[in-house]
Amino acid sequence: MGTDMRIDAGIEQGAQSVEQLSADEYGATALEYGFFVAFVAAALLIGAEILAGGVGGMYTLVNGLVDEKISNATK
């Protein structure tokens, strides 16, 4: 069995599992919650990435100002 055939079989099995979950009321609810959790996790990761850039820039600015003050004080 080639790699492509195994991948296709895995995709087909995953699709069948999703179909079975969506056919069952509890499975559909679990699937919806799963999508919601994935969306929230993605939003948190994106927000953290944006915030990290801003915070990093702030620390760089403060570091530069402190270094400048120390340099001026030792002259």
Q: What is the tally of structural domains in the chain? A: 1
Which residue is associated with the tokens 């400048």?
Answer: 68
Q: What is the dihedral of CA 18, 22, 26, 32, to 10 degrees?
A: 80
Amino acid in the structure at residue 60: T
Whether the Cβ atoms of residue 21 and residue 31 lie closer than 8 Å to each other: yes
Single pTM value for the model: 0.45
**pLDDT 10s digits, 33-68:** 889 999 999 999 998 888 887 777 888 888 999 988
Domain residue limits at 51: 3-73
Residue 28 has pLDDT above 70, yes or no: no
Output the pLDDT for position 21. 63
